[in-house]
């Protein structure tokens, strides 16, 4: 069994190694996983998750939130947090503000005490975006020759009882636990032995945090003695908390602590991470739906309103984006994901599709992937139509009005950008471009060049404007179009190359509601799986929105949950295999 480390800091807080350096070191040490848990900061997570996409080391997105009760700081770890959620960032911004206010005042006190330190010099001594902690003060004083060691800096100047220390306003640990839960994460009490509490006081804290939603307790830690670990294991069992462990690695700021091995004897088993993932999936809630093992509801989505009116409600509607979500980059469903999909459909869940692809393209794809046997409802054109594949019947349609489509076409022409729309069976454009050939190959759909696309389709489902190499050009165009037509169109990215204009009355979120209505499934039983900006409305609207870790920031921000792995590594599997 390989080791993991669930408590690691980078230069984005008070560690001395960058995310890239941490990942390289974890690979060299043979770790199977580690969690980046910077103090009150998530700025390193995008960077390290991108770097780890092809690494054998799994990176867990985490945080360590500094809280306080009277007389003592308490640290709360959070694992698999959806760090894109605005409520978390607002919460952290407030913590950073109070920390920086404290830092300025403490620099002033230290300077008044005769030490060569100013806030400006301290801030300039670290990389931008670093969250300044007392470790940075200690390092600065050591480098300036004011102290002989980091320990001396804390004992003489930075400790809680030192005259130059400034206390800062902090949140209660219960608030941090609730916030971590709110953004889908798993909250854990960090290094409880370090607080020096009596047994009674520690248990009182645990009971209070458990009521707020605490899920775990750090049971294995670099400085624990065997008796300490036995004590925390006993508390974990007594209060039904999962056990976690970490080195609390800070690089050269704690030179006696090594990544993965702590002070030399630390070993954190992989099963600790399995327990965290299980807790995360428990909050996802698929298991707790009203599904009966003896359910006789068909997995087929094909049904008329007359057929569904008196039919028993299915336990849930599963709607999948295809590219980058259900499909890997080779446009296939992996065997493991397909097997999980089969099993969940057999339990009564209804399989549906929501895609930006044209209807002809998605029908061909459904057939080639052997998905037609489920007779899914299909939302195509980003919600522009809903099609019953079982009956071969169009159930709903939304199109751009002719005047708006014409104005959008003129804007694209003004900027000399590729644009196209569709007939029922083909892509149509007014000139042949690299973009047109790329798109045709991407959706496996024929194209035709004609003199005037809107003469053939005056009220199209959507218009796509493309640029193959520079998303910023499309972003500027997006702003221009929304300034003029925000009351008439949605202007959304389905990937970095495709900017799509659809009616304001369209969209995947609206289509999801309509599919639930058509199938007589309560909306609170809706599950959406997706990865891009054109999926945002669906992820935000669904009762359970799951974004792929390979997805866009906008998609993750809108989702309730984020997968552990990407679409090429069965990212959906844990969310189906329940």
Give whole-number Cα distances, 420 to 131, 381, 426, 453, in Å: 47, 13, 10, 7
The whole-number pLDDT of residue 308 equals 42
- pLDDT tens-digit profile of 158-199? 988 899 999 887 899 999 999 999 999 999 999 999 999 999
d(CA 367, CA 73): 59
Give the number of other CB atoms < 10 A from CB of residue 370.
Answer: 10
Contacts of 146 (CB under 8 A, 6+ apart): 115, 116, 117, 153
Residues 6+ apart with CB under 8 A from 198: none
Paired with 220 in beta bridges are 245
Separation CA 255–CA 206 (nearest Å): 31
pLDDT, averaged across the chain: 92
Instruction: Give the pLDDT score at 554.
Output: 95
Question: What does pTM read for this prediction?
Answer: 0.84
DSSP 8-state class, residue 532: S
Higher model confidence: residue 169 or residue 505?
505
Closest CA to 511 of 324, 371, 353: 353
pLDDT at site 285: 65
Give the C-alpha separation, 383 to 369, whole Å: 22
Q: In 263-348, which residue ranges form alpha helices assigned H by DSSP?
A: 271-284, 305-308, 335-346
What six digits make up the tokens of 426?
Answer: 């083909």
Q: Is the distance from CB of 260 to CB of 233 less than 8 angstroms? A: no
**Residue 167's pLDDT is what?**
83
pLDDT at 270 over 60: yes
Unique residue bearing structure tokens 């692809």: 357
Q: How far apart are CA 269 and CA 245, in angstroms?
A: 9
The tokens describing 498, both together, are 């495709």
Q: What confidence tier does 54 reach under pLDDT thresholds 50, 70, 90?
A: confident
Give me the DSSP letters along 237-274: HHTT-EEEEE--B-GGGSTT-BTTTBTTT---BTHHHH
- What is d(CA 290, CA 347) in angstroms, rounded to the nearest whole number? 11
pLDDT at 294: 31
pLDDT at 309: 46
Q: Give tens-digit pLDDT for 455-465.
A: 999 999 999 99
Ranking 52-61, 310-319, 410-419, 483-492 by mean pLDDT, the lowest is: 310-319
Query: Domain 4-89+170-283, what architecture?
Result: Alpha-Beta Barrel (3.20)
pLDDT of residue 129: 76
Query: How far is the CA of 512 from the CAs of 189, 305, 437, 503, in angstroms?
Result: 39, 16, 31, 16
Q: Are 416 and 518 in contact (CB under 8 A)?
A: no
Closest by CA to 546, choosing from 567, 526, 560, 565, is 560
Burial degree of 553 (CB within 10 A; 0-12, 13-18, 19+)? exposed
Min mean pLDDT across 100-104, 177-181, 228-232 is at: 100-104
Overall average pLDDT of the 348-365 stretch: 96
Mean pLDDT of 32-38: 98
Q: How far apart are CA 166 and CA 170, in angstroms?
A: 12
Task: Mark out the alpha helices in 158-258 (DSSP H runs).
Answer: 173-182, 199-212, 226-238
CATH 3.30.310.50 fits 287-398+507-576, yes or no: no
Q: Which of 129, 95, 122 lies closest to 108 in space, CA to CA?
A: 122
Delimiting residues of CATH 3.20.20.140 domain(s) in the chain: 4-89+170-283
Residue 291: predicted pLDDT: 29
Assign a CATH topology to domain 402-503: 3.30.1240
Range in 17-21, 189-193, 307-311, 427-431 the model is least confident about: 307-311
Q: What is the pLDDT of residues 286-321, one digit of tens each?
A: 433 332 233 333 344 444 444 444 445 678 999 999
Q: For the chain, give every residue range classified as CATH 1.10.150.650.
A: 90-158
CATH architecture of 90-158: Orthogonal Bundle (1.10)
* Separation of alpha carbons 449 and 433, rounded Å: 10
Q: In what order do the strands lie in the sheet with 186-189?
A: 4-8, 33-36, 58-69, 72-79, 186-189, 216-221, 242-246
Q: Residue 547 CA to chain centroid, in angstroms?
A: 6
Band (pLDDT 50/70/90 cuts) for residue 329 is: very high
Residue 283 pLDDT class (50, 70, 90 cuts): confident
Buried/exposed code over 479-497 (b: 16+ C-beta within 10 A; e: otherwise): eebeeebeebbbbbbbbbb
Q: What is the pLDDT of residues 461-494, one digit of tens each?
A: 999 999 999 999 999 999 999 999 999 999 999 9
């Amino acid at each position: 069994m390989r080791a993991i480390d669930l408590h690691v800091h980078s230069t984005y807080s008070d560690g001395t190694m960058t995310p890239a350096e941490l990942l390289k070191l974890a690979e060299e040490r043979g770790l199977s996983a580690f969690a980046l848990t910077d103090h009150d900061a998530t700025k390193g997570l995008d960077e390290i998750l991108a770097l780890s996409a092809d690494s054998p080391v799994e990176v867990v997105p985490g945080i360590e939130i500094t809280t306080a009760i009277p007389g003592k700081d308490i640290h709360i770890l959070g694992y698999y947090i959806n760090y894109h959620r605005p409520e978390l960032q607002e919460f952290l911004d407030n913590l950073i503000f109070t920390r920086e206010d404290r830092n300025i005042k403490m620099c002033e006190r230290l300077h008044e005490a005769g030490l060569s330190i100013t806030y400006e010099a301290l801030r300039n001594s670290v990389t931008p975006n670093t969250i300044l902690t007392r470790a940075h003060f200690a390092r600065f004083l050591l480098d300036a020759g004011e102290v002989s060691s980091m320990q001396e800096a804390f004992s003489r100047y930075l400790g809680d009882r030192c005259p130059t220390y400034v206390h800062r306003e902090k949140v209660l640990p219960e608030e941090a636990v609730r916030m971590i839960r709110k953004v889908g994460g798993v909250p854990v009490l960090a290094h409880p032995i370090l607080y020096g509490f009596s047994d009674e006081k520690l248990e009182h804290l645990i009971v209070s945090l458990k009521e707020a939603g605490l899920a775990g307790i750090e049971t294995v830690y670099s400085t624990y003695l065997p008796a300490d670990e036995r004590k925390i294991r006993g508390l974990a069992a007594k209060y039904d908390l999962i056990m976690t462990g970490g080195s609390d690695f800070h690089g050269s700021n704690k030179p006696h602590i090594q990544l993965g091995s702590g002070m030399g004897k630390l070993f954190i088993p992989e099963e600790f991470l399995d327990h965290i993932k299980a807790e995360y999936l428990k909050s996802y809630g698929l298991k707790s739906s009203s599904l009966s093992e003896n359910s006789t509801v068909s997995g087929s989505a094909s049904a008329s309103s007359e057929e569904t009116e008196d039919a028993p409600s299915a336990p849930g509607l599963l709607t999948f984006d295809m590219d980058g979500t259900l499909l890997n980059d080779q446009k296939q469903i992996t065997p493991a994901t397909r097997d999980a999909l089969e099993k969940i459909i057999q339990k009564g869940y209804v399989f549906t599709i929501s895609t930006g692809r044209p209807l002809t393209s998605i029908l061909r794809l459904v057939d080639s992937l052997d998905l037609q046997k489920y007779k899914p409802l299909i939302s195509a054109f980003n919600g522009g139509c809903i099609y019953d594949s079982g009956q071969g019947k169009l159930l709903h349609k939304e199109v751009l009005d002719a005047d708006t489509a014409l104005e959008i076409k003129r804007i694209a022409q003004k900027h000399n950008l590729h644009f196209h729309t569709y007939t029922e069976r083909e892509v149509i454009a007014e000139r042949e471009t690299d973009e047109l050939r790329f798109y045709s190959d991407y959706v496996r759909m024929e194209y035709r060049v004609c003199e005037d696309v809107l003469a053939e389709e005056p009220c199209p489902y959507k218009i796509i404007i493309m640029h193959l190499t520079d998303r910023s050009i499309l972003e500027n165009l997006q702003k221009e179009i929304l300034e003029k037509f925000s009351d008439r169109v949605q202007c959304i990215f389905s990937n970095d190359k495709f900017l799509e204009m659809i009616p304001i009355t369209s969209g995947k979120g609206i289509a999801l509601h309509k599919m639930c209505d058509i199938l007589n499934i309560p909306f609170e039983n809706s599950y959406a799986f997706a990865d891009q900006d054109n999926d945002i409305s669906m992820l935000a609207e669904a009762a359970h929105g799951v974004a792929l870790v390979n997805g866009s920031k906008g998609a993750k921000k809108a989702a309730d949950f984020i997968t552990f792995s990407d679409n090429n590594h069965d990212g959906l599997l844990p969310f189906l295999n329940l």
